[in-house]
Chains A and B, each alone.
Chain A
Amino acid sequence: MAKLLLIEDDSETAADVRADLRGRGHDVVWAATGPDGARAARDGGWGAIILDRMLPGQDGLSVLQDLRRDGDRTPALVLSALGDVDERIRGLRAGGDDYLAKPFALGELAARIEALLRRPVDSRETVLHVGSLAIDLIAGTGRRGARDLELLPRELKLLEYLMRRPGQIVTRAMLFEEVWNYRFTPKSNLIDVHVGRLRRKLEAAGEPPLIHSVRGTGFTLSPDA
């Protein structure tokens, strides 16, 4: 699907990330040091770059900064084992498009890479259709086929986020960041509870499912027809 550059010094992590992303159909090239990664990145043609914050030879953030200075806008995801909360801000400021703290779930990484590889969502559309599902953001209404849906404002937002990314896996953390607009890892399975309630409203008895759980990762909304 896409050509990805992985700049990561830990060979075990790199091997697992590579295998996982290859299993999802991506072509992954691995560079183990900062300078090697910088050279490979400059060759161009990458769908996205995944780079570790701390690399031998040259720091991951400075590799990224150099790329951005040269006008390279390839989507980049920064990985970091540093616990500092400012790390994320620093990573994004250096030109990162997303940030993931180690240790991470492979599914989370894959979902975020997917999101980076997609074209930016056109948020000007206010009436969305996915299969038999339709929502009107201005009126705040939703329909499945001929059936009116009674949606709470947050449920509408949740559905909007999923409908703008049909077929794409979104993780719990992504949902929490984008729908609730807060950033932290909720302990309980509250996101699942919220999605479950939405699902019950969307999928009345006998109707085919729209929202599918992706084991260990998150959810995806796929058209029913």
Chain B
Amino acid sequence: MLDLPRPADLFRSTAIRWALGIALWSALLALAMFAFVYWQTADYLREELAETLRLEVRAAAADPAAAATRVDTWIAMDLHATHYGGLFAPDGARRAGNLGAIPDRLARDGDAYRVSATVDLAGRRLQDEIWAAALELPDGSTVVIAHDTDEIDRVRATTLRALGLGLVPTLALAALGGLLLTSRARRRLAATEAAVAEVMRGDLGKRLPVGPRDDEFDRLTRTVNRMLDEIEHLMGEVRSVGDAVAHDLRTPLTRLRARLERTRSQAHTVAEFREAIDQGLAWIDQTLAMVTAVLRIGEMEDGRRRGAFTRVDLGEVVAVAVEFHAPLAEEKDIDLALTVPPGLHAVHGDRDLCFEAFSNLLDNALKFTPPGGRVAVGLQRTETAIVATVADTGPGLPPGERSQVFRRFYRAEAARRTSGHGLGLSLVAAIADLHGAPVTIAEAAGGGCLVTLRFPPAGADTERSAAR
């Protein structure tokens, strides 16, 4: 039930360390408590006794004639032989009482002091620690009223004994309590550990058990579970990307292989061989472009390129990208329009990558816009962002596919037959992500696609890194 760990693990186990810690802490608390109680009790007793002694000695001194009787009464009042007293002549000789002599260094001011004295007890002379108060009478003699210290000492002894007796069970109980408390946590940890082990063995669908309480541990577990969801999702994506890469790589390679084989057996002229080789080179370049794109996306996703970020004028980048694509638009009779307000549109980023992103977006927009259509590129400065838009008058995308197109290798069904490796928009998404720029697709006014990128404007902290 207690689920005790094996001895070897004993001190490595957090549960045991916690239990010991709790025990030690409880013991310390008990000790402090005892000390406080003892200190308070002893103090009270001592003060009570001192007060009695003060009153008694004053009463005895008030009536010098009856002082001896008073002393004897004080002594007789006592059943446990703890009262002492004495009346001493000016020369120190005892006139009454059971004290051997006036204790040394006892001030005769009526206050109570702890002193050492010789006492007659049951016919024997003993040296004892006593509490005593003394006063000098008008005739020069001294009256002493005293009480032994045993009672107070006994309180201390009793307290210490109680502490000694109580400490061991307290420690044991505290340790047990600690174990009980921590073993529950231990059981949960063990269950979690087992689940993690299963995940590590490859069962990515496994989740950590979450308790009914919403404590820190449950919250942590839920966070880990969310992380596992994300990992599972990513793994799934990697797998499907892997499949897509394999498929998209195999296609040109299969064609290449078939063409080489066919050319070898059937081609007769140098021109035929040349043609086959040129086609083969084109297919190889297509394959390599895809491999490069996949590698670049991976590289961007790990974010290292951010180290080379500088201040980039997005206005210039967009203008050059539009100018670069203008001949293509002209050939297809597409109206390629650019709207950029004057002034600097500074973002913190990588100039080449920004260009690549816009180039890919333009490439895509021009590819899907029919002749006679329009592609509009805009840049706007808002309070919080520099917003770049690319709108086309193409067929647009159904809402369900809008977020999909940024996934690697996704190609809208309708686009399956057009050229391209399906990585253009994934690259855009990776570049946007690297720049902290959310990218969205909506429906443009004419029914086409409206891609929006919201770049965070370059802050003052990037002023120092000059544009290259």
Contacts and interface: CB of A to CB of B under 8 A. Distances in A.
Given A83-B299, A180-B320, A216-B281, A190 B327 contact: yes
Contact of A193 (B320, B331, B353, B355): B331
Interface stretch (A11-19, A50-58, A68-76, A84-92): A84-92
Interface in B300-322: 304-305, 307-308, 320
A180 B292 CA distance: 22
A43 B40 CA distance: 97
A181 B299 CA distance: 23
A44 interface: no
Contacts of B288: 103
Given A83-B292, A190-B327, A182 B351 contact: yes
B289 interface: yes
Contacts of B305: 85-86
A85 B309 CA distance: 13
A84 B320 CA distance: 26
Contacts, number: 55
A103 B278 CA distance: 17
A197 B327 contact: yes
Contacts of B289: 185, 187
Nearest to A192: B327
Contacts of B278: 216
Given A83-B292, A103-B288, A216-B281, A183 B352 contact: yes
A194 interface: yes
A50 B331 CA distance: 40
Interface in B310-356: 320, 323-325, 327-328, 331, 351-353, 355-356
Interface in A159-187: 180-187
Given A84-B299, A86-B308, A187-B363, A182 B320 contact: yes
A154 interface: yes
B247 interface: no
Residue from B281, B324, B325 with most neighbouring chain A CB atoms (10 Å): B324
A188 interface: yes
Q: Is the interface of B mostly helix, strand, loop or mixed?
A: helix
Contacts of A184: 352-353, 355-356, 359
B64 interface: no
Contacts of B323: 154
B296 interface: yes
A187 B357 CA distance: 12
What class of interface size applies to chain A in its complex with B?
A: 20 to 34
Chain A interface, >50% SS class: loop
A190 B324 contact: yes
Nearest to B277: A216
B97 interface: no
Contacts of A186: 324, 359
Contacts of A180: 320, 324
B295 A83 contact: yes
B448 interface: no
B396 interface: no
A188 B328 contact: yes
Contacts of A188: 328, 363
B361 to A, nearest CB: 12
Nearest to A189: B328
A85 B281 contact: no
Contacts of B252: none
Contacts of B85: none
Interface in B20-60: none
A156 B292 CA distance: 32
A216 B277 CA distance: 11
Interface string A76-104: 00000001111001000000000000010
Contacts of B86: none
A65 B324 CA distance: 38
Nearest to B366: A188
B295 to A, nearest CB: 4
Interface in B189-241: none
B327 A182 contact: no
A193 B327 contact: yes
Interface in A184-225: 184-188, 190, 193-194, 196-197, 216
A88 B304 CA distance: 14
A180 B356 CA distance: 12
Contacts of B320: 180-182
A181 B281 CA distance: 27
B424 interface: yes
B420 interface: yes
Contacts of B331: 193
Contacts of A85: 296, 299, 305, 308
A188 B327 CA distance: 12
Interface string B264-308: 000000000000001001000000110010011001000011011
A193 B363 CA distance: 14
Contacts of B420: 187
Contacts of B328: 188, 190, 193
Interface of B: 278, 281, 288-289, 292, 295-296, 299, 304-305, 307-308, 320, 323-325, 327-328, 331, 351-353, 355-356, 359-360, 363, 420, 424
15 contacts: A83-B296, A84-B299, A84-B304, A86-B304, A180-B324, A184-B356, A184-B359, A186-B359, A187-B289, A187-B420, A188-B328, A190-B325, A190-B328, A193-B328, A194-B324
Given A154-B323, A184-B353, 15 more contacts: A83-B295, A84-B299, A85-B296, A86-B304, A103-B288, A182-B320, A182-B351, A182-B352, A182-B355, A184-B356, A188-B363, A190-B325, A193-B327, A193-B331, A216-B278
4 closest A-B pairs (Cβ-Cβ)?
A: A193-B327, A83-B295, A182-B355, A184-B356
